Amino acid sequence: TTATATTPTVPSGDVAARATAGFRQRYGGEPVGRWAAPGRVNLIGEHTDYNDGFVLPFALPLRTVVAAAARDDERWTVWSELDDDPVEFGPAEADEPGRVTGWAAYVAGVVWALRAAGHAVPGAWLAVASDVPVGSGLSSSAAIEAAVLAALVDLGGLDLPAERWPRLAQRAENDYVGAPTGIMDQSAVIRGRPGHALFLDCRSEEVEQIPFDLAAAGLAMLLIDSRAPHRHVDGEYAARRRSCERAAQALGVPALRDVPADGLDAALARLDDAEIRRRVRHVVTEDQRVLDSVGLLRAGRVRDVGPLLTASHASMRDDFEITVPEVDTAVEAALAAGAYGARMTGGGFGGCVLALVEAAAADAVAAAVAAAYAERGFAAPATVTALPAGGVTRLD
């Protein structure tokens, strides 16, 4: 990514070549194959997942690639370009969550989850390269999990239908790494399809491919890294979750997803805390915005999703209170420069902003956001254009 201008999507050839070069350099042989998995971004549906609601992510053209080969013994050696030295582990470490720590835990977690499900996981040499920025909310974690999972399934000829991959990768992250995340990231990264977004019901875990062909519509999505310094994200996230749980309890429903949009006013009238009322209003209206977005996209009305994105942002800013000046500035500047809609995406307090724009206007909108940042003295935002891409795949 460059500091201010939009850049074309990173060619996958580069990252795949880096994985192969790393493999040759570290292990002195040739990989048997290369597997790639994308990052993801959530189009709309924020803080709805743990309320049993709806999300609508899509896979990004940024990818993590694993070059791999099976080995004769039951050991796993993994190298990533993020680190100097490879990490090696065997069944003892793989079978005990917490034994492998640091970034390699994401790899050991996949081995663990496969073995726990009864699969004979082949030992392997693995080399990882990635264009997905790490820790920016674009799910580099699900990308590495999915790419490693695909590699091990193929190398071992494991009988594991793709519908079961998201749950397995989620277990790796929840139970081995110890990061409590929902099913959205792994679903998007594994099941993403070019020109589509993935409509996910977080209660039933059912998914549906929704047409979202920006290129065919002459549109582009700007992905603006707000560069906002992180502020108390974990504590704030936990507090929002608690508020939602308390509200559901007070309303006598299993989760806020069970408050229908047309029953919102009645529900709010039953809550005496003004802050809790705002939190509930965000979640209930946000679920409805996801459903409305899905309806518009099914009808091919991509531009009309813009106002829903902007309404989602306003709801996160005013009711859920999870935005910060940097992301508000990016949204306002993008809208003033002609974006159809814009919103912060991800858990909040920074991260990335999405802006839906005419493809021909992408550079101008990105420049307007950069100018607004400069005026306020914020660190320059990094902007790329992102078309909905495909999920995990074997490259060769």
Q: Does residue 135 belong to the site contacting ligand ADP (CB under 6 A)?
A: yes
Count of C-beta atoms within a 10 Å radius of residue 167:
15
Site string for ligand ADP, 84-103 (x = CB under 6 A): -------------------x
Place of tokens 């000046």: 325
Q: Which is nearer to Mg ion, 25 or 101 (CB)?
A: 101
Residue (10 or 134) nearer to ligand ADP, CB: 134
Looking at the Cβ atoms of 56 and 108, the one nearer to ligand ADP is 108
Query: Quick check: 385 binds ligand ADP (CB under 6 A)?
Result: no
Q: Which does 148 bind (CB under 5 to 8 A by kind): Mg ion, ligand ADP, none?
A: none
- The backbone torsions φ and ψ at residue 162, rounded to the nearest 5 degrees and listed phi first, read -60, -25
| Chain residues 100-119 in contact with ligand ADP, contact rule CB under 6 A | 103, 106
Q: Does 130 bind Mg ion (CB under 5 A)?
A: no
134 binds ligand ADP per the rule CB under 6 A: yes
Q: How far is residue 386 from each of residues 58, 116, 207, 265, measured CA to CA in Å?
A: 10, 36, 22, 37
DSSP at 38: E
Q: Which is nearer to Mg ion, 139 or 310 (CB)?
A: 139
Examine residue 187 and tell whether it contacts Mg ion (CB under 5 A).
Answer: no
Q: Does 141 bind Mg ion (CB under 5 A)?
A: yes
Binding-residue total with ligand ADP (CB under 6 A): 16
Contact between 186 and ligand ADP per CB under 6 A: no
Q: What is the three-state SS of 165-177?
A: HHHHHHHHHHHHH
Query: Which amino acid, residue 22?
Result: G
Q: Buried (b) or exposed (e) across 194-221, using 16+ Cβ within 10 A?
A: ebbbbbbebeeeebeebbbebeebebbb
- The secondary structure of residue 389, as a DSSP letter, is B
To the query of whether residue 185 is one of the catalytic residues in this protein, the response is: yes
Q: CA-to-CA distance for 130 and 189, rounded, in angstroms?
A: 14
Distance CA 141, CA 154 (A): 20
Query: Which residue of the set 72, 85, 95, 185 is catalytic?
Result: 185
Residues known to be catalytic: 185
- For ligand ADP, the binding residues (CB under 6 A) are 64, 80, 82, 103, 106, 128, 130, 134-141, 144
Q: Which parts are annotated binding residues for ATP?
A: 80, 135-141
Q: Which parts are annotated binding residues?
A: 46-49, 80, 135-141, 173, 237
